[in-house]
């Protein structure tokens, strides 16, 4: 028996109690109905969390660390992502390339982490 079946039973009981004119019974049935709605909402939230964790696990299996940055496996764009943001908040934030005085750096656009330790790929390899 699922939540929707329980909800129907309580709704039917509430409708029967409406004719009975027993205020205490009506009150109890309304409380039970409210509890069922709360359980449905909690169940929906838990299903969403499970889906998020499953997606996180899939994404985590597609990432590799190289230097101080993350890269997606088999990604031909060679886009670097901030390892610091990933480790602290599980957020995949792109790092941008900066060239200062002939030295190339990668910099996170969110936390400003900067490093020259990253995957260096020739344009012909992309």
Cβ(78)–Cβ(121) below 8 Å: yes
The answer to whether residue 9 scores a pLDDT higher than 70 is yes
Burial (Cβ within 10 Å: 0-12, 13-18, ≥19) of residue 72: middle
Q: Does 125 or 75 have the greater pLDDT score?
A: 75
Name residues whose C-beta falls within 8 Å of residue 91's C-beta, 6 or more positions apart in sequence: 85, 110
**In the predicted structure, residue 21 carries a pLDDT above the cut 70:** no
Which residue ranges make up each domain of the chain? 3-59, 64-125
Q: What is the pLDDT of residue 124?
A: 43
pTM listed for this prediction: 0.58
């Amino acid at each position: 028996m699922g939540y929707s079946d329980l909800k129907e039973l309580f709704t039917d009981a509430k409708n029967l109690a409406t004719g009975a004119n027993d205020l205490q019974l009506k009150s109890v049935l309304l409380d039970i109905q409210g509890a069922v709605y709360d359980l449905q909402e909690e169940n929906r939230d838990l299903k969403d969390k499970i889906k998020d964790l499953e997606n996180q696990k899939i994404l985590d299996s597609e990432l590799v660390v190289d230097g101080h940055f993350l890269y997606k496996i088999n990604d031909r764009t060679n886009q670097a992502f901030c390892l610091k943001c990933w480790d602290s908040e599980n957020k995949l934030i792109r790092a941008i390339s900066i060239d200062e005085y002939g030295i190339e750096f990668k910099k996170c656009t969110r936390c400003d982490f900067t490093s020259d330790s990253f995957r260096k790929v020739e344009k012909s390899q992309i």
